[in-house]
Amino acid sequence: MNQASAVQLLVVPIIAIAVAAVARRRGWPSPLLLVFAGLVLSPFVPGYQLDPELVLLVFLPPLLYSAAIDSSYMRLKAVRRPVALLSIGLVLFTTLVIGWVVHLLMPSLPLAAAFALGAIVAPPDAVAAVAVARRLGLPRKVVTILVGESLFNDATALTAYRVAVAAALGEGISWLDAVGRFLYAAVGGVVVGLVLAWCLARVLLMLRDALVENTVMLLIPFGVYLAAEAVHVSGVIAVVIVGLYVGHRMPRAGFGTRLLSGAVWRVVDFFLETIVFALIGLQLWPIMTELRDADPWLLTGMAVAVFAAAVLSRAVWVVPSIYLPRVLSAGVRRNEPNAPSWRNTVVVSWAGMRGVVSLAAAFAIPPDFPGRPTLLFLTFVVVIGTLLIQGLTFPALIRRLRISNEEEVFNDNLTEAAAQQAAAAAELARLDELVAEGIDEVHREVVDQLRSRAERRALTAWERLGGGTGPRGEETPSTVYRRLRREMLAAGREVFVRLRDEGRLDDEVLNRVMHELDFEEATLERD
């Protein structure tokens, strides 16, 4: 690679990171701004055609793994029915609906090829929706459903897509063969994921080195994905299973592993998601160049019809899938006495933004595939249309429906306060045991400090119920403590930096001290 090619390769990531930085500072939805920036830049960088292998092997596994380790296995287990109905049922339903619509619009296109397009645009990417949902305070159950759907729907869609492509290319696949392939890929992905999860979790526990553990974890999603695909099962499901298993066991890891893991995966997520959304917009020019001789009016009509089918099929599926089980099953009514809110149902129905996986699958269509340029264009329209139309209106919809998680936040703080008090009691009891075993009088001051810290942490949790203020709006003791300690830490940093600048303190010593001060400030944020 020459220098000019290397510079061109870096241009888009640099611009994308700059756009994302501006969006974060302004509080704008960065995925949508990145897509728009990609659309604007597309004619100027026509060489950035999406490589499907790059997405499926480099971008998708770490993004799925990161989302999985950050998810709650217990919460996903509690919403497994709606997640399964969305990630499996909705994807297959959307595949059939869009397939029939495309077949009606293009009778010359084989039905299997039309179903391939349906599978391509069926799986929503919940990154943009979840980012907005968390920022605006959607109920946790809604967020968990959206996250769970995004974790598993790619596996369903990619499996259906491979079956449809094989049938369209004349491999003679029957419906029974298609179902068999689908079940083998799904069940096999679960089995491979569980086996590798069990092995990898024990390897990580044996390492006992935060840096080495996190380095290994960076390799896990790629290794798991390749291992699963090597035996022709779903690599997506295997990666998600391993991520959920490792994430569920993360509290048993060392504190250094957890601290470093959080920082590492935040950086990985930010970088990959930034590049991915920019790449989506950049596909405008490569796709349009393949349609120079097509009828623009015909393409527009088809694009509107397919986009409408993608949006409406989700609403048509979501509403009965949420309420019908309550009508048909007494067990569902018994386990879920409160009916789902219609507001939450509307939000889930509108959270259907598509992402880069759909584009990667479209670009992976073989060159001799029937109607390939048109299918690429329709995929691009659905992805861009859902991101811009649904993505831009999603925050306004949440505000209009006046949905919030204030009650959940209060209940969380209440349960945390009770847990902190129980933990503090256990800590103090253990401290008393150690003191009773004998301790020098000179160390009594240390014991008092430990006792005070345990008691203060329990009180802080109760104070959080008041939002950090007292009944008349005054600051609580813990709030004052954090504010004053932050000011003290800032003053201490200035002294250390000044001594370094005067040549009286080595940079290595400064870095070590600054790390200690940063860690203490981080604990203040947690308190």
Query: What per-residue confidence (pLDDT) applies to 7?
Result: 64
Query: What per-residue confidence (pLDDT) applies to 442?
Result: 44
Secondary structure class of 196 (helix, strand, coil):
helix
Measured in whole angstroms, the distance separating CA 499 from the mean position of its chain's CA atoms is 43
Query: What per-residue confidence (pLDDT) applies to 309?
Result: 96
Query: What per-residue confidence (pLDDT) applies to 470?
Result: 46
CB-CB contact of 326 with 339 (8 Å): yes
Distance CA 113, CA 249 (A): 43
Distance CA 76, CA 479 (A): 34
Query: What per-residue confidence (pLDDT) applies to 301?
Result: 93
Query: What per-residue confidence (pLDDT) applies to 527?
Result: 47
Residues of the chain with pLDDT under 70: 1-8, 47, 128, 171-173, 409, 412-413, 416-420, 438-444, 456-481, 508, 525-527
Distance CA 268, CA 62 (A): 8
In tens, the pLDDT along 124-134 reads 987 767 777 77
Instruction: Single out the residue of 253, 256, 261 nearest to residue 214, CA to CA.
Output: 261
Instruction: Single out the residue of 60, 1, 23, 27 nearest to residue 279, CA to CA.
Output: 60
Query: What per-residue confidence (pLDDT) applies to 471?
Result: 44
Structure tokens at 422: 């129980």
Query: What per-residue confidence (pLDDT) applies to 168?
Result: 85
Read off the amino acid at residue 264: V
Query: What per-residue confidence (pLDDT) applies to 464?
Result: 59
Distance CA 27, CA 517 (A): 28
CB-CB contact of 347 with 142 (8 Å): yes
CA distances from 173 to 90, 112, 179, 362, 369 (A): 23, 10, 10, 21, 16
Query: What per-residue confidence (pLDDT) applies to 472?
Result: 47
CA distances from 444 to 235, 346, 441, 453, 459 (A): 57, 60, 5, 14, 23
Residue 56 is given by DSSP the state: I
Please give the span between the terminal C-alpha atoms of the chain, in angstroms, as a whole number.
50
What global pTM score does this model have?
0.82
Distance CA 20, CA 434 (A): 52
Residue 498: Cβ within 10 Å count: 11
Distance CA 230, CA 522 (A): 43
Phi-psi region of 172 (alpha: psi -120 to 50; beta: other; left: phi over 0): left
Query: What per-residue confidence (pLDDT) applies to 268?
Result: 93
Residue 445 has phi, psi (to 5 degrees) of: -65, -35
What's the CA angle centered on 88, arms 83 and 89, to 5 degrees?
Answer: 95
Q: What DSSP letter does each residue of 365-393 carry, written as one string? A: S-TTSTTHHHHHHHHHHHHHHIIIIIHHH
Structure tokens at 106: 């293009």
Query: What per-residue confidence (pLDDT) applies to 303?
Result: 93
Distance CA 3, CA 6 (A): 5
